[in-house]
Amino acid sequence: MNNEKYPEKLTDSYYLVRKEWLDESTQLGKYRTLKNAVAKAKANSAFVFTEDGDVVYPAAASEVESTIKKGTLNTNMNVRDGSSMDANKLFILKKGSVVEILDDCKNGWFKIKCEKTDCGYAFISNVTGDYISVSE
């Protein structure tokens, strides 16, 4: 997304600073000014979103992609719509499937991208464990 299409100051909505769009509990604040939202996001390795979920910051996809790791599953794995065992199971990825690890949600959960979804959550335990083989 390009920051130039977003106004510096909002009057009837907010810029939301979150670690993940789908998880409201990761919200770090909401701001009327883009400058303040970006400063908070930078200080906390977070994102700035519009209230509709558009990513405002980081502006360049390359800023996010540089931290993405790819991995091959060493076992079948449930993919869920949230980072907990209580979240709805979306589907099962088969052993040998390749995923992109987008974010560490802590406690063994990772946000992933694969051929079946742009955003899902899997309990990987850690990126060097028995469940997945990671490559840079």
Place 34 in a pLDDT band, splitting at 50, 70 and 90: very high
pLDDT over 70 percentage in the chain = 85
How confident is the model over 79-95, as a mean pLDDT?
92
Task: State yes or no: pLDDT of 79 exceeds 90.
Answer: yes
> Rounded to whole angstroms, how far apart are CA atoms 23 and 31?
18
Q: Dihedral of CA 40/44/50/52: which sign? A: negative
Q: Dihedral of CA 111/114/119/120: which sign? A: negative
* 96 φ/ψ sector (left φ>0, alpha ψ -120 to 50, else beta): left
- Least confident interval from 79-83, 92-96, 116-120: 116-120
Please state the pTM of the whole predicted model. 0.50
What pLDDT was estimated at residue 4? 58
